[in-house]
């Protein structure tokens, strides 16, 4: 980030300088004493399992030039760092990021949605980096802490800043978009997710649409035109410029003839066939979403097509990996009913006209509230419909998944824990299977992927 001093920070976050030199500048922000760099500011955030105030001494030893704290702590002798006291370190971090965003010349792109926001962000990053100096969120830095940290990591020379906005409960997107103040906002897909907090799809639509509230004057909202309920709600409640993308002929940016086979696919835009080196129809939609933005940023379709050819799969998101004769579709970063459907469709498209078995290793989906059991039963039904031959489920709703499946049509087994599933994979998986591994983050199904690699890596 561009250097800021403690005196400026005090004014921005309405804090007070406890001690140290207020003119002392800092050149970055950290909340983790393990990764702090000399000259950084350390925000002593208190979380559920840690308290940053316990690590202030470590931050000083590593060269932190500014400490932001909520309470006074013992100061090392001859400490030269500036100390700023605030009422709430998390709120101060948000205030600082909001101020810093206004200093940036970069065009800010903010992405939300129930499905596809992280993958779309990473696709946009890979493509836009061919034409602009881009910066994007690390991992899934999409909450009230991660988003400010991403904004504060931006440099003066950055031309595009790609942000991701996530939400588990009503009101969170509104707070995040107020900090981000984007020039461009994108809503990928709205679908049932985090129902424990939202209760209904209507509430999810309202939540995702609230990203428009933070748009800068003249900003543009890009949204999925294949979801009429979303479009109607946005059109009724916001007066921003709207650009729709999708497959129907009413969309401003239209993709047609979406086809996927194996680990790749293609779609047609403006009469041009675009090969896409990514698995699953959902990724074709993500590429179409990216084009709707790229075209407005002055990128030609020819240059866009060329950039698409070098796309790489995001880690643990429809990531196809061949381990000897075994094919793994690693999509175990997270899951909700819509993304499960996308992944199962991808599995189905991987084995046309072959005798290879389709195997689904399913982890339970989290935060679905009172609909958890019924939605997991529907998942089991869908797995059978997509031709799954072997269904292995793990987690608290594993038995619900099997309940929804037709026991006469596939082999199946439920496990209470992921570790138990891993210990039994050798009994169920054959060398030439195609295996989809997917579940919510809490399922930890990357352990199953690792076990499969251990079992079949030497074949």
Q: Given CATH 3.40.1190.10, say whether it is the number of domain 104-308.
A: yes
> For residues 71 and 152, which has the higher predicted lDDT (pLDDT)?
152
pLDDT, tens digit, for every residue of 178-215?
Answer: 999 999 999 999 988 888 889 899 999 999 999 999 99
Mean pLDDT taken over the chain:
93
Domains of the chain by residue range: 4-87, 104-308, 319-456
Q: Give the span between the Cα atoms of 62 and 64, in whole angstroms.
A: 6
**Please, which residues have CB within 8 angstroms of residue 42's CB and are 6 or more apart in sequence?**
30, 31, 33, 36, 52, 56, 59, 64, 66, 67, 68
Question: What is the pLDDT, as a whole number, of residue 13?
Answer: 96
Domains 4-87 and 319-456 share a fold: no
Question: What is the pLDDT, as a whole number, of residue 157?
Answer: 96
Confidence of residue 249 (pLDDT cuts 50, 70, 90): very high
Confidence of residue 459 (pLDDT cuts 50, 70, 90): low
Q: Residue 329's Cα: distance from chain center in Å? A: 18
pLDDT, tens digit, for every residue of 272-311?
Answer: 999 999 999 999 999 999 999 999 999 999 999 999 999 9
pLDDT, tens digit, for every residue of 344-365?
Answer: 999 998 866 677 899 999 999 9
pLDDT at 271 over 90: yes
Question: What is the pLDDT, as a whole number, of residue 37?
Answer: 94
Percent composition of the chain: helix, strand, coil (DSSP 3-state, to 5): 40, 25, 40
What long-range pairs does 201-207 form, CB within 8 A, spacing at least 24? Answer: 201/229, 202/229, 203/170, 204/114, 205/229, 205/230, 205/233, 206/170, 206/233, 207/167, 207/170, 207/171, 207/172, 207/173
Beta strand residue intervals within 147-237, DSSP E:
160-164, 184-187, 220-224
Question: Given the DSSP bridges, would you call strands 82-85 and 66-69 parallel, antiparallel or unpaired?
Answer: parallel
Quote the pTM value.
0.91
Burial class (CB in 10 A: 0-12, 13-18, 19+), 399: middle
Q: Residue 331's Cα: distance from chain center in Å? A: 13
For range 126-155, the mean pLDDT = 93
Question: What is the pLDDT, as a whole number, of residue 26?
Answer: 93
Q: How much of the chain exceeds pLDDT 90, in percent?
A: 82
The hierarchical CATH code for the domain 319-456 is 3.90.190.20
The hierarchical CATH code for the domain 4-87 is 3.40.1390.10
């Amino acid at each position: 980030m561009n250097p800021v001093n403690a005196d400026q920070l005090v004014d921005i976050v309405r804090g007070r300088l406890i001690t140290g030199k207020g003119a002392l500048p800092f050149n970055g922000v950290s909340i983790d004493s393990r990764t702090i760099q000399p000259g950084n500011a350390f925000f002593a955030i208190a979380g559920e399992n840690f308290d940053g105030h316990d690590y202030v001494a470590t931050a000083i030893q590593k060269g932190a030039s500014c400490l932001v704290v909520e309470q006074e702590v013992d100061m090392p002798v001859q400490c030269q760092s500036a100390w700023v006291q605030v009422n709430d370190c998390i709120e101060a971090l948000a205030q600082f990021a909001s101020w810093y965003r206004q200093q940036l010349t970069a065009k800010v792109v903010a992405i939300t949605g129930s499905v596809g926001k992280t993958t779309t962000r990473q696709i946009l990053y890979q493509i836009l980096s061919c034409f602009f100096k881009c910066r994007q969120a690390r991992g899934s830095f999409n909450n009230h802490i991660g988003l400010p940290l991403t904004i504060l990591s931006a440099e003066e020379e950055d031309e595009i800043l790609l942000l991701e906005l996530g939400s588990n409960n009503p009101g969170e997107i509104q707070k995040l978009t107020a900090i981000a103040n984007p020039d461009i906002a994108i809503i990928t897909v709205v679908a049932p997710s985090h129902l424990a907090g939202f209760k209904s799809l209507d509430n999810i639509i309202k939540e995702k649409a609230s990203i428009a509230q933070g748009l800068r004057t003249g900003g543009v909202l890009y949204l999925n035109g294949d979801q009429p309920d979303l479009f109607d709600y946005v059109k009724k409640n916001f007066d921003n410029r709207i650009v729709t993308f999708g497959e129907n002929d009413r969309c401003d940016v239209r993709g047609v003839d979406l086809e996927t086979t194996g680990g790749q696919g293609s779609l047609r835009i403006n009469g041009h066939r675009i090969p896409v080196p990514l698995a699953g129809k959902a990724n074709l939609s993500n590429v179409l979403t990216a084009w709707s933005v790229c075209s407005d940023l002055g990128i030609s379709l020819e240059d866009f097509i060329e950039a698409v050819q070098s796309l790489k799969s995001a880690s643990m998101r429809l990531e196809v990996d061949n381990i000897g004769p075994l094919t793994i579709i690693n999509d175990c970063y997270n899951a909700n009913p819509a993304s499960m459907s996308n992944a199962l469709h991808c599995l189905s498209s991987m084995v046309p006209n072959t005798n290879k078995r389709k195997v689904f290793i399913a982890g339970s989906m989290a935060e679905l509230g009172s609909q958890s059991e019924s939605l997991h039963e529907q998942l089991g039904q869908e797995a059978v419909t997509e031709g799954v031959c072997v269904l292995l489920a793990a987690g608290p709703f594993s038995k619900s998944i099997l309940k929804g499946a037709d026991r006469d049509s596939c082999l199946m087994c439920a496990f209470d824990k992921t570790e138990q599933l891993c210990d039994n994979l050798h009994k169920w998986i054959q060398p030439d299977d195609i295996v989809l591994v997917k579940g919510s983050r809490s399922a930890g199904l990357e352990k199953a992927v690792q076990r499969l690699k251990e079992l079949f890596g030497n074949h």
